[in-house]
Amino acid sequence: MTPAIAEVVPHTGEMILLDDVVAFDAQSIVCSLTVKPGGLFNAQDGSLPAWLGVELMAQSIAAWAGCQMSTEQPRLLPVGVLLGSRHYVCDVDFFPLGSELRIAATREFHDEQGMAVFTCRIDAPGIHAEARLTVFSPPDARAFFESSTHESSNLEQPHV
């Protein structure tokens, strides 16, 4: 049984762009989205700009991480950061209203410090997009972000 998308991504409200987790395993996930009008990123005709595909891929990776957590003891969802993408290619400029997108992400690399690379794709009739996304999810996100904030506040300020 697959979990509800809101249970496995750290996003809330309208920032949850995916509809469902279709399937997942230890290395990959497939999510879905039917393009509906009225969202934060929709064009006037209800379509979504193709550049949003990178965010759909990133949310799929977040859902994969959340699904991995759901198989363990319940705890806070992992926090991750999209560091970048390689060669995002999409054969359309917009995902048309009513399109049923399948977003797949497969883990290619993952280290103990939380760095990972996923090969991702979006497919629907007449639509194909792909990219490799590099993401970072520190093992202890709270400590990582607190130390980063502390370090940046200790940087020497330039004299004006």
Are the beta carbons of 11 and 58 closer than 8 angstroms?
A: no
If one compares 35 and 114, the residue with the highest pLDDT of the two is 35
pLDDT tens string 118-147: 999 999 999 999 999 999 987 766 666 676
pLDDT tens string 12-52: 899 999 999 999 999 999 999 999 999 999 999 999 999 99
HSE (CB half, 13 Å, CA atoms) of 38?
Answer: 1
The CATH code of domain 5-153 reads: 3.10.129.10
pLDDT tens string 41-92: 999 999 999 999 999 999 999 999 999 885 555 556 677 888 889 899 999 9
pLDDT band for position 153 (50/70/90)?
Answer: low
- Regarding pTM above 0.75, the answer is yes
- Cα–Cα separations (whole angstroms), residue 130 to 6, 14, 56, 60, 61: 24, 24, 11, 13, 14
Are the beta carbons of 99 and 49 closer than 8 angstroms?
A: no
